[in-house]
Chains A and B, each alone.
Chain A
Amino acid sequence: MWGNDRQQLTKTASEPLLRVQGLTVAFGQQPPVVRGVSFEVMPGETVGIVGESGSGKTMTALSIMRLLPPGGRIVDGSILFDGLPLHQFTEAQMRQVRGGDIAMIFQDPFTCLNPVMRVGEQVAEAARLHRERAEGAPHELAVQMLRAVHLPDPERIARRYPHELSGGQRQRVMIAMAFICHPRLLIADEPSTALDVTVQLQILHLMREMQQQQGTAVLLITHDIGVVAYTCDRVLVMHRGQIVEAGSVYEVLEQPRHPYTKQLLEAVR
Chain B
Amino acid sequence: MSETPLVYLRGVKVHFPLPRGEVVRAVDGVDLTLQPGEAVGLVGESGSGKSTLARALLRLLPLTAGEIWFDSKPLHRLSERELRPLRREMQLVFQDPMASLNPRMRIADILAEPLLVHGIARGRQARDEAARLLERVGLPRDYLNRYPHEFSGGQRQRICIARAIATQPRLLVADEPTSALDLSIRAQIHALLCQLQREMNMAILFVTHDLHAVRQVCSRVLVMYLGKIVESAPVEQLFTSPAHPYTQTLLDALLEPVPSKARRPRLLPTGDVPTAVHLPTGCRFHTRCAYAQERCRVEEPLLQTVGEYHRVACHYPLPSSPKRTLGTPSAP
Contacts and interface: CB of A to CB of B under 8 A. Distances in A.
A230 B257 CA distance: 8
Interface stretch (A63-71, A95-103, A113-121, A221-229): A221-229
B250 A197 contact: yes
A131 to B, nearest CB: 33
A168 B272 contact: yes
Tell me which of B253, B254, B260, B266 has the highest count of chain A C-beta atoms within 10 A of its own C-beta.
B253
A253 B257 contact: yes
Interface in B268-285: 268-269, 271-273
Given A1-B263, A1-B332, A201-B268, A229 B45 contact: no
A227 B256 CA distance: 8
A268 B252 contact: no
A250 B253 contact: no
Nearest to B275: A166
A197 B263 contact: no
Instruction: Give the secondary structure class of B's interface.
Output: loop
B249 interface: yes
A226 B271 contact: no
A201 B252 contact: yes
B183 interface: yes
Given A199-B272, A201-B268, A253 B45 contact: no
A228 B256 CA distance: 10
B330 interface: yes
B255 interface: yes
A200 interface: yes
A148 interface: no
A196 interface: yes
B254 A226 contact: yes
A268 B249 contact: no
Chain B interface extent, by class: 20 to 34
Contact of B184 (A196, A200, A227, A267): A267
Contacts of A197: 45, 209, 250, 253-254
Contact of A250 (B45, B259, B273): B259
Interface in A112-168: 152, 166, 168
A254 B260 contact: yes
Interface in A194-245: 196-202, 205, 208-209, 212, 224-230
A198 B253 contact: yes
Tell me which of A197, A225, A269 has the highest count of chain B C-beta atoms within 10 A of its own C-beta.
A197
A65 B22 CA distance: 45
B231 to A, nearest CB: 15
Given A196-B209, A197-B250, A201-B268, A269 B257 contact: yes
Interface of B: 45-46, 182-184, 209, 249-250, 252-263, 266, 268-269, 271-273, 288, 330-332
Interface of A: 1, 3, 52, 152, 166, 168-169, 196-202, 205, 208-209, 212, 224-230, 249-250, 253-254, 265, 267-269
Given A169-B272, A201-B268, A229-B257, 8 more contacts: A1-B263, A168-B272, A197-B250, A197-B254, A225-B257, A226-B254, A229-B261, A265-B257
11 contacts: A198-B269, A201-B252, A201-B269, A201-B330, A205-B332, A226-B254, A229-B256, A229-B261, A253-B257, A254-B259, A268-B183
